[in-house]
Amino acid sequence: MALLVDAIALLVGAMALLVDAIALLVDAMALLVDTIALPEVGLKWHSNTNTKQ
């Protein structure tokens, strides 16, 4: 039983790391969009993502 709980905890931890990695990737893409796109478009897109969180 304890091993099962440990395995589930490890799985949850791995999923949390995966979510963190995806979030970092999205942040990097947002920065890329901000630098490439026009400043107005970048600011508008950035404010939209902030309101969703």
Which residue from 8, 6, 13 is spatially nearest to 21, judged by alpha carbons? 13
pLDDT at 38: 60
pLDDT of residue 44: 64
- In the chain, where the domains are located: 19-53
Distance CA(20)–CA(42), nearest Å, equals: 23
pLDDT in tens, 19-46: 999 999 999 999 888 887 766 665 666 6
**Contact between residue 19 and residue 4 where contact means Cβ atoms under 8 Å apart:** no
Whether the pLDDT of residue 51 is over 70: the answer is no
Integer Cα distance of 30 and 10 in angstroms = 30
Q: What is the pLDDT of residue 28?
A: 94
Distance of alpha carbon 23 from its chain centroid, rounded?
1
